[in-house]
Structure 1
Amino acid sequence: MPGLGTLINIIAIVTGSGLGLALGGRLPDRTRTVVTDALGLVVLLIAALNAAEVLSPELRAAVGGAAPTLIVLGSLLIGGIIGSLLRIEQRLERLGTLVRATLTRRMSAVATAPSQDSPAGPSASERFVEGFVSSSLVFLVGPLAILGALSDGLGNGIDQLALKAALDGFASIAFAAALGAGVLASALPVLVYQGAFTLLGVALGSVLPDAHIAALTATGGLLLVGVALRLLRIRDLPVADLLPALFVAPLLTALVAAF
């Protein structure tokens, strides 16, 4: 069922936030590191399974025996060039900084306006906003939010979003412990954002042939390798700059198939 992955993601955020509010800051840093490493290894497994779609019979039948690998390579190269020229990773980071600063400033102004003599009011409001904005950015500004939602909508399963749910659930524990109840509210933008990409995946799945979807899935698998390398702290790859490759892959497949 399309949307199930996002629903699980939201439940994980809400549950993790509740645990974080109950636990406070009792979770050791070593435990967080070990869990993140374990999740990084699972990302590698999912990446391998998705990348194996390069061997899809439908894709080979459409473009020939050797072409699938070249399509994935070409998609990553062209997509990477487009993404780097557009500076997608850098723009996302700047957008996050801008959103955080803007919301915090506005909410602080609202909080201080009614009552200047209540020191607890502004502090509580700023803490809520910081928790909401910081956690929302972490949950949304990342390739898994897009890759997983598209995969869900395309009918390729919810394994990527299930993995993201585990990551977000664990992160929400830490965020809620440090920043409070604002982290709970971040479930709403996750619903809207990932829901939109899931609907896009449903639309693409209704018009794209199986060969095109296989090329997109295989390309996404290699992007997931980049996510795993970041989680494992091996290499901080600019995965967001490679996201245009997901849209290049079906186009290249159609072009090669036409000849």
Structure 2
Amino acid sequence: MKGPWIDSSSVLLGGLVGAALGKRVPERLRTALPMAFGLCSMGLGIALTVGVKHLAAMVLSLILGALIGELIFLEKGIGALSRHMRRLVDRVLPSSADEGESNKEYLQTFVAVLVLFCASGTGIFGAMKEGMTGDSSILIAKSLLDFFTAAIFATELGYAVAIIAVPQLLVQVALFFGATVILPLTNPMLIADFSAVGGLIMFATGLRICKIRDFAVANMLPALLLAMPLSALWTRIFHI
């Protein structure tokens, strides 16, 4: 199991490097590159979504998942966690984030970045694939992009970005060990619908990163848990 460790290490190192550089990175790069990352997230989201097999199951998963997330205040909880992380990190390392930046704007960006790293469709399937086949190539390739993504966002958000490596590692390790149980129960249609739901979330994440629309992307995450069961139920009921 090397893929999750390599990918998370790239986030940790990128976050530390970016936060250390801080204002020394030109403003045009700190502004332009996150827009490019947001565009990549939207592009990947579209690519994943077009492969959907059961459109109704995808829509229902996202609606019910967002409803659950809103009812349990998932994004609010993540926001509280991020505030705690920021205070904890700032006690040890000086923050490179803008002092005048509003706390709300900081949290909005941080939550979007947290989802981008921890709920990436590429990361999810990369970890599951390595768990089943031992092939870590997907996560190794993803780690290259994650390093630069973490570095750029850390120039704005500070050292807290590096801490995202911890929940990312936990998610990928859990998927790695759970893959032997989950994947034998799936089929290409279930995986396609799961990918489509993840694609919608990644598209919303891209819109948020680009500051086009402030979607509560963290509240949509329960949809990932519902995607395969609802797809399987839809197939059983309608035999398609």
TM score, norm. by length of structure 2: 0.73
CA distance, structure 2, for counterparts of residue 52 and residue 204 of structure 1: 23
Contact 1:6 1:161 in 2 (8 A): no
Extract unaligned runs of 5+ from structure 1.
60-67, 105-124
- In the other structure, the counterpart of 2:194 is 216
Relative to structure 1, the CA distance from residue 45 to residue 241 in structure 2 (aligned partners, 3 Å threshold; closer, same or farther) is: same
- In the other structure, the counterpart of 2:219 is 241
Residue of structure 2 aligned with 1:152, choices 118, 126, 130: 126
- In the other structure, the counterpart of 1:230 is 208
- In the other structure, the counterpart of 2:43 is 45
Give the deviation of 1:195 after TM superposition.
2.8
CA distance, structure 1, for counterparts of residue 46 and residue 112 of structure 2: 23
Residue of structure 1 aligned with 2:114, choices 138, 141, 144: 141
> How far does the alpha carbon of each residue in 1:224-244 deviate from its partner, in whole angstroms, 9 at most, with x for none?
110110111101100111111
TM score, norm. by length of structure 1: 0.68
Give the deviation of 1:81 after TM superposition.
1.0
Give the deviation of 1:213 after TM superposition.
1.3
Which amino acid letter does the alignment assign opposite residue 238 of structure 1? A
Specify the structure having the higher radius of gyration (Cα): 1
Give the deviation of 1:141 after TM superposition.
3.3
Extract unaligned runs of 5+ from structure 2.
97-105, 131-137
Give the deviation of 1:143 after TM superposition.
4.7
CA distance, structure 1, for counterparts of residue 12 and residue 126 of structure 2: 18
Contact 2:7 2:142 in 1 (8 A): no
Alignment of 1:187-206 (within 5 A): 187=165, 190-201=168-179, 203-206=181-184
Relative to structure 1, the CA distance from residue 188 to residue 79 in structure 2 (aligned partners, 3 Å threshold; closer, same or farther) is: closer
Relative to structure 1, the CA distance from residue 258 to residue 186 in structure 2 (aligned partners, 3 Å threshold; closer, same or farther) is: closer
Relative to structure 1, the CA distance from residue 71 to residue 19 in structure 2 (aligned partners, 3 Å threshold; closer, same or farther) is: closer
- In the other structure, the counterpart of 1:64 is none
Identity value in percent: 24
Relative to structure 1, the CA distance from residue 234 to residue 258 in structure 2 (aligned partners, 3 Å threshold; closer, same or farther) is: same
Give the deviation of 1:145 after TM superposition.
0.8
- In the other structure, the counterpart of 2:93 is 128
Contact 1:139 1:168 in 2 (8 A): no
Deviates more, 1:157-166 or 1:5-14: 157-166
- In the other structure, the counterpart of 2:16 is 17
Q: CA RMSD of the aligned region, Å?
A: 3.4
Aligned residue pair count: 216
Alignment of 1:64-143 (within 5 A): 68-101=54-87, 103=88, 126-128=91-93, 141-143=114-116
